[in-house]
Amino acid sequence: MDNFDLICAKIWNILYICHGKIKNIGVLMADFGFFRVAAASPVVRPAHVAYNLEQILSLTDEACAAGVSLLVFPELSVPGYTCGDLFGQSLLLDAAQKAVVNLKKATEDKPITLIVGVPVPHDGRLYNCAAVISRGALCGLVPKINLPSYGEFYETRRFASGSDFLLNPAEIHYAGDYVTLSPLQLFTIGRATVAIEICEDLWTPLPPSSHHAIAGAQIIVNLSASNEVLAKNDYRKSLVANQSARTLSAYVYASCGFGESTGDLVFAGSSMIYENGTLLKENDRFSVSSGLIVSDIDIDKLEALRREKTTFADPAPSVYEPSSYLRHNLGDAAPTDFGAVLHRTIDPTPFVPHGNPEKLNSRAKEVISIQVAGLATRLHHIGCKTAVIGISGGLDSTLALLVTVMAFDKLGLDRKGIVGVTMPGFGTTDRTYTNALGLMQALGITIKEIPIADAVNIHFRDIGQDPSNHDVTYENCQARERTQILMDLSNKLGGIVVGTGDLSELALGWATYNGDHMSMYGVNAGVPKTLVKYIVDWASKNYFSGDGKASAILTDIIDTPISPELVPGAADGQILQKTEDLVGPYELHDFFLYNFFRFGYEPQKIYFLSKIAFEGKYSDEVILKWLKTFLRRFFAQQFKRSCLPDGPKVGSVALSPRGDWRMPSDASSALWLSALEEL
């Protein structure tokens, strides 16, 4: 974070203080559903409470300057985790309690909630607790439930389990406040609801956080003391990632680091922040100085995912019933200007893994495998050995052809049973025509060439269309003529028509109704445009790598501009009708679709995220223009999606009216478009 960012954040905090804790000051700026959290890795000195308190206060000031609303420290961070039998000393316990009093005072005028680790004595027992401190008050004590007593860990020697308070929470006096001692507590800060588990709680077969999430917590924090051994960090990260994904929550994990005793164990200060299984931020372990990691949690996204997953709210065991939880409202979140600094990465290509060729190859292989399995199953089920497919020389029809070839190979069927039909028309260019013929020859399928110009001209004459008028009728007549040829030919040959339209085209309605919109099985229906070329590239380099001619043609197809080729090209044969010039960049539309569909984001938020994701590539005006186009077309073209042919779902975004997206064809886009007018 640079100095300018720090100054901006400090100004907002000063405004908060000057307004005397005005509860709705957060409305002065748009939060877009984000909530800023941080995990701290303080340097500690075991049993030196005063030193540890200084580190906590310093990191708190740093977090406040960054606009953080929730700051999480490691397990037993106030005295240090490795105090051993010193936890039996009243002097240490009293010092820890006094430190909490000091933390309360230090946060009186700060819009931040701290969660620190302290040992808490009660009724002759000692509990390993998380203390929740907010705006000058101790708001709750959450005890650790599962205490390890294996290897170098022997917590049961000094601590008792917080399970004592699952059924009967205790009200105790600690650090000057009467406060609840119980694992079943939820803390609300603004729109975020937070719950706590401590270290070993996560490593058990039934982590408390599973129940916390069902009770309403969108953010789980874990105060931990996890040591380092070979390969443990990978396992620890997978554990946090999986729990975050299972609970559809954000998970803030802070573990002990430099300064803890290394008698038998080494602590590296592992800190990480996950959201629904995705890593948002992690620190560099083994640092010798105190530090923070800061990230912004998307509460809107988590709530949308939970609403979508109806199994999320299945009944929990009786002791963890949501009604058993004590709920605390800690006030508003910090008045953070998320528009100035956003502590999370916004992926401009959510359908395409970037920066990781291995992951991209794996994604492409998995998608095409699903497509192949879907088509192979359909062919086998109906006993069909013939597939008819229109080949244009473009990316979508190429992918559909490759899928069909692989499905035939999988079933042991003769590739000659695939009938590829090239249907040159008024806008067909030499490049796409040559690539279509060459690819079909290289793959060894049956080739048919059926020009459509004569038939379309007769149709123009019959309906009174002027051939020189290149309007929508001019274009759609060609698309429907091609579909009629494919359908009738499949009847003649006893086959099925394999569709070529992709997910992005379905979202925009960029298809001719009952033209290329229709088929007998749409293998590309779940594949977004931004992913198509990567799948074709993978197939070229892997499945079809042995055929040099096919690979060369596929490479050229990948480099060909996207076009429906329904109007004549240039005199030199170049493509004039480029789809993205007409409807907008597909990378923008795929970004809009992903965030609109997956998380139900309002248009303002999609626009906000788009500006971050495509900064330097598209201006704000261009993004806004195409976002309006996306919304208008998505609503207006639903009637095409309402009668889609079958096709395989390959990802989390799918528009089948039979399962994933059910929307009335007459739904109005006015509410969404009017929201953009306010920008």
Residues marked as catalytic? 75, 144, 199
d(CA 371, CA 338): 40
Residue 421 CA to residue 450 CA, distance in Å, equals 7
Q: Strand 271-275 relative to strand 70-72: parallel, antiparallel, unpaired? A: unpaired
How far apart are the C-alpha atoms of 281 and 271, rounded to whole Å?
A: 8
Distance of CA 207 to the CA centre of its chain: 23
- Residue 114: beta bridge partners? 71, 133
Q: How far apart are CA 131 and CA 476, in angstroms?
A: 67
Short-list 208, 262, 229, 228, CA closest to 45: 262
Whole-angstrom distance, CA of residue 449 vs CA of residue 424: 8
User: Is the CB of residue 46 less than 8 Å from the CB of residue 82?
Assistant: yes
**586-599 and 620-636 helices cross at what angle (nearest 10)?**
60
C-alpha torsion sign, points 609, 610, 611, 617: positive
Nearest of 520, 429, 513 to residue 475 by alpha carbon = 513
Q: What angle do CA 190, 238, 208 make, to 5 degrees?
A: 50
> How far apart are alpha carbons 387 and 374 in whole angstroms?
14
Angle ∠(65,69,74) on CA atoms, nearest 5: 95
Quick one: three-class SS letters along 50-115?
Answer: HHHHHHHHHHHHHHHHCCCCEEECCCCCCCCHHHHHHHHCHHHHHHHHHHHHHHHHHCCCCCCEEE
Instruction: Return the structure tokens found at 375.
Output: 């088509």
What CA–CA distance (Å, rounded) separates 400 from 406? 10
Q: Please, are residues 665 and 642 in contact by the beta-carbon 8 Å criterion? A: yes
- Cα separation, 445 vs 209, whole angstroms: 56
Whole-angstrom Cα distance, residue 250 to residue 270? Answer: 17
Q: At what angle do helices 603-613 and 586-599 cross, to 10 degrees?
A: 130
Q: Helices 670-677 and 603-613, interaxial angle, to 10°? A: 60
Of 480, 334, 362, give the one whose Cα is nearest residue 22: 334
A 10 A CB-CB count for 20 gives 8
Closest CA to 364 of 544, 537, 553, 550: 537
- Number of other residues whose CB lies within 10 A of the CB of residue 85: 8
Return the closest-CA partner of residue 46 out of 264, 283, 256, 270: 256
Indicate the residue type of 220: I
Instruction: Give the CA distances from residue 104 to residues 116, 135, 488, 621, in Å, rounded to whole numbers and listed in that order.
Output: 11, 7, 78, 47
Distance of alpha carbon 556 from the chain centroid: 33
Backbone angles phi, psi at 580, to 5 degrees: -70, -20
| C-beta of residue 540 within 8 angstroms of C-beta of residue 554 | yes
Q: Long-range contacts for 18-25 (Cβ within 8 Å, ≥24 apart)? A: 21/111, 21/135, 21/331, 23/331, 23/332, 24/332, 25/332, 25/335
User: How many of the other CB atoms lie within 10 Å of CB of 546?
Assistant: 7
| β 125-134/137-143 pair status | antiparallel
